Amino acid sequence: MKTRRDFLTQAPLGLLGAMVAGSALAQTGENPATGTPPPGSPGAFDTAPPVGPKLSTATFVEAEKLAQVSMTETQREMAVANWPTSMAALLERRTGPRKVALEDGLAPATTWFPAMGRAHVGPAHDRFVPSKVAATSLPAKDEDIAFASVAQLGTWIRARKLTSSRLTKIYLERLKRFDPQLRCVITLCEEHALAQAAQADKEIAAGHYRGPLHGIPWGAKDLLDTAGIATTYGAEPFRHRVPKDDGAVTRKLNEAGAVLVAKLSLGALALNDIWFGGQTMNPWLLQEGASGSSAGPASATAAGLVAFAIGSETQGSIISPCMRCGTTGLRPTYGRVPRTGAMTLCWTMDKLGPIARSVEDTLLVLNAIRGTDPGDSASVAAHLDYDAAAPIKGLKVGYFPGWMKDASATDLDRAALDQLRALGLVPTEVSLPDWPYDDLNLLLFAEAAAAFEELTLSGAADQMRTQTPDAWPNLFREARFLSAVDFVQADRLRRKVAKEMERVMAEVDLLLVPSLRDEMMVISNMSGQPSLTLRTGFVEVSQVRSDWAPDPKHPLPKLAKPHRVPYGVTLIGRLFDEGTLGRVGRALEAKAAVAGERPVGF
């Protein structure tokens, strides 16, 4: 096997290569006649064969603008002479000649662990004690059955007042009837669902009851692999992709006896609410999108088309559509739920979590899907401690005074703080340093561009429906020019920010924040904190809302008259302390008394 030094001394090189090789020979004391270095000579930087395109000092002048650095003309001249032999070869993995494919599912060598080396984080033991559901009669109307909670549906099924087959047919009929309005379904799994429901009924009749999700129909954000059923990522290049195996969460829900009725829409490659079939709409206001990227799960759940759904969040993709559609979303601690067999956007930020119509339903689902999987190196076997009857009086709820006063908050955010005080919690002011938290998004863009490198470099991203400046195709291309040095520095800043969150969460038991506050959306997703978003009231809007950057050529439509839509708040918890979020969230849900209202027409 030829060494780099062999190549330099034997291969015919251009003038630049000859100059560099000559310099290397002089430095190492090689015998010019034989090209053999003295024994024990080490390798050296800047001895690679020159590769890559021809450069000039003007190349670096322009590149400096992107990186926001500056060099002198002398430094640029050195870089021009040196780059082909020092840095360009580091791209061989993708430019060749020795190309190496990085297969889907291959994670980076480095893994983010929110505990940052602490041995014991979260509850000391497992405990899962949900509330007791009152024995009620089965409603006469299918619509009322469809909007019942997971807990209530499970009680009826276990008591054999309702079969899974009947419930599944109710949801399948509603999915067919309302999807033309909402565009929330990518693949209807009718045959698969009816077979699963029949099996659930058979098992329950035989006395084999698997638990509260047995026989319960659910919908999957279409980035969860389902064996033999298309998983499209909502994006044109993947619309015919059919996985051979179930993802870890799909498998766990199968084991719990749940019934998959539909693969639900997501904004293409998990961004916003537009996919290859159109825009998914908000059942509370059909003129506007459902927000994203868990658009289908939030829209379908809000409209009573599934009992619950699984969404995902990298930065806001559970919180935002739950706010828009008035559903309840639980974003688990990073690592709590295994992501094997789920589309990767960002290895160190992606999280899978439940979307439902009540707080306790999200805990029932979380209990079924948590745990480890060998395919996800970040997954951890942390305890879950949830006791619905445990007291919440005396718990400290942190809040940021400035955030509660500015435009990111409404009277409903402030009212929620008062409601928690009335429930016996102790509102406590907290603060974070005034740092440029958005700088952490360098990590998001770099990881996402890496996850979809082949899509970008092959040109397949050009097939995607949305090609605006703020859509993934453009952002993936731009991210190629981010600095690797700045990536490392952003990663260091991430640890610094996570330490600040560790300090804040040591002062309180949980936080109450305006749900869409940019800083906390970035911070808590980067640090890995769990969150719970729940409806606490309603507001009026006079204009359609959108996740997309404003486009002066296509202004958002104004409404003929103000429209009443749901609004919610978000609770942020300590790492792996979803149980406290559930207890407090359930009490706040009862206090606000608005969770049961349904969108008109559904």
| Positions marked active-site | 221, 293, 317
- SS3 per-residue string spanning 305-365: CCCEEEEEECCCCCHHHHHHHCCEEEECCCCCCCCCCECCCCCCCCEEEEEECCHHHHHHH
Paired tokens of 281: 């709409």
Counting Cα atoms < 13 Å in the Cβ hemisphere of 566 gives 34
Paired tokens of 240: 């015919």
SS3 state of residue 576: coil
d(CA 570, CA 578): 13
**Could you report how far apart the first and last alpha carbons of the chain are, in Å?**
70
Paired tokens of 419: 């409601």
DSSP string, 263-312: EEP-STTTSTTEETTEE-EETTEEEEE--SSSHHHHHHHHTTSSSEEEEE
CB contact at 8 A, 89 and 49: yes
SS3 state of residue 433: coil
Q: 567 pairs with which residues across the strands? A: 537
One-letter amino acid for residue 95 of the chain: T
Work out whether strand 510-513 and strand 396-399 pair parallel, antiparallel, or are unpaired. Answer: parallel
CB contact at 8 A, 440 and 493: yes
Helix (H) or strand (E) holding 543: strand 531-543
Q: Which residues of 217-253 are buried (b: 16+ CB within 10 A; e: fewer)?
A: bbbbbbbbbbbebbbbbbbbbbbeeebeebbbbbbbb
d(CA 321, CA 425): 28
d(CA 349, CA 524): 10
CB contact at 8 A, 425 and 571: no
Residues 6+ apart with CB under 8 A from 553: none
Work out whether strand 259-264 and strand 217-221 pair parallel, antiparallel, or are unpaired. Answer: parallel
d(CA 503, CA 527): 12
CB contact at 8 A, 68 and 439: no
| Tokens 């759940």 sit on residue | 301
